[in-house]
């Protein structure tokens, strides 16, 4: 049996060159740097990775580069969400070929579906997927996956091995942990909201997938480890530092642009987003880069070499 997915996984962005194409060398450098800084895993083609702004072929290439650069040093949980079951299963097969540990599949988006339809969607995928599946609950952008549905899927489908929950709701997570652990003690529960990283770990989560870990991986890992070791006082201090960066990165520009600015401030050639921006927005992002650079310097985090 494969090891459970735990720790801090990074849903990293994709560097783009001057023509808006994937900068493959810089993506590989970013992956290598993140692993060197101690992240426990990688999460390509997530929301932070702007998966919807890339073609199917580009999403496949992103997974290939990430897995090649990771070279087995950490697990890769690759985003495999497509617009329907058949295309999602094709993405699952490709992720397996690349060497991913598992895939992450977001609940159906655009159409807001009831719980029974969400269950049916994931059940159809779980019956056919050649690779382990993690659910991805992000209710701000997709149909929510409620607690009874997660527990039902966990009980019925061994291929579904975990969930990333980005609700940020601690009470919801406590209910989720109680329900799913009753039927699947091995089920990985990861929080996707770094503003509540430490409370979620103390509540029993196995880790988190945090965009902020793509900018300050040293800090998110330290907060996770302090919480897991029971050093609550240190964990709470670290949570405050994580939250300050999260607020700057998430609140400083429309999601996920602040994280592109942050990775640039950390020393990577991220390029401009594929989402067009006005002159005012570009100016605001340049000002944000200065604030992020100052915050990094204050924390003693140097730019990547």
Helices (H), the chain: 24-36, 56-70, 85-98, 115-128, 147-156, 170-181, 197-203, 217-229, 232-251, 257-265, 279-299
Q: Which of 43, 119, 121, 164 is catalytic?
A: 164
Distance (Å) of CA 35 to CA 10, 149, 158, 214: 10, 34, 29, 10
249: how many CB neighbours lie within 10 A of its CB? 29
- Kindly state the tokens that stand for 205: 């989560």
173: how many CB neighbours lie within 10 A of its CB? 23
Report which of 194, 216, 210 is spatially closest to residue 301, judged by C-alpha positions.
Answer: 216
| Burial track 217-235 (b if 16+ CB lie within 10 A, e otherwise) | bebbbbbbbbbbeeeeebb
Q: Is 164 assigned a catalytic role? A: yes
Residue 12 near residue 31, CB atoms below 8 Å: yes
Report which of 279, 212, 274, 270 is spatially closest to residue 43, judged by C-alpha positions.
Answer: 212
| Token pair 């870990």: residue | 213
Dihedral pair phi/psi, residue 133, rounded to 5°: -120, 135
Dihedral pair phi/psi, residue 23, rounded to 5°: -90, 90
Reduced to 3 states (helix: H, G, I; strand: E, B; else coil), residue 22 is strand
Please identify every residue annotated as catalytic.
Answer: 136, 164
């Amino acid at each position: 049996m494969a090891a459970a997915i735990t720790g801090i996984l990074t849903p990293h962005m994709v560097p783009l060159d001057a023509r808006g194409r994937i900068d493959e060398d810089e993506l590989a450098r970013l992956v290598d740097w993140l692993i060197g800084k101690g992240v426990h895993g990688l999460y390509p083609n997530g929301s932070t990775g702007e998966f919807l702004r890339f073609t199917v072929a580009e999403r496949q290439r992103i997974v290939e580069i990430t897995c090649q650069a990771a070279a087995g040093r950490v697990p890769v949980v690759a985003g495999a969400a497509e617009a329907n079951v058949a295309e999602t299963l094709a993405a699952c097969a490709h992720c397996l070929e690349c060497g991913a540990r598992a895939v992450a599949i977001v609940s159906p988006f655009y159409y807001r579906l009831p719980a029974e339809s969400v269950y049916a969607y994931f059940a159809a995928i779980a019956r056919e997927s050649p690779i382990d599946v993690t659910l991805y609950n992000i209710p701000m952008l997709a149909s929510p996956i409620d607690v009874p549905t997660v527990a039902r899927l966990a009980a019925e489908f061994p291929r579904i091995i975990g969930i990333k929950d980005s609700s940020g709701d601690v009470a919801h997570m406590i209910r989720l942990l109680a329900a799913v652990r009753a039927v699947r003690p091995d089920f990985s529960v990861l929080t996707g909201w770094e503003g509540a990283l430490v409370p979620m770990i103390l509540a029993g989560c196995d880790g988190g997938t945090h965009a902020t870990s793509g900018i300050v991986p040293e800090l998110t890992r330290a907060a996770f480890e302090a919480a897991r070791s029971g050093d609550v006082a240190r964990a709470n201090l670290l949570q405050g530092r994580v939250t300050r960066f999260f607020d700057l990165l998430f609140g400083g520009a429309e999601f996920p642009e602040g994280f592109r600015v942050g990775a640039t401030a950390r020393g990577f050639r991220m390029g401009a987003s594929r989402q067009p921006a006005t002159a005012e927005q570009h100016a605001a992002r340049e000002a944000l880069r200065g604030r992020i650079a100052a915050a990094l310097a204050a924390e003693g985090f140097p730019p990547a070499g």
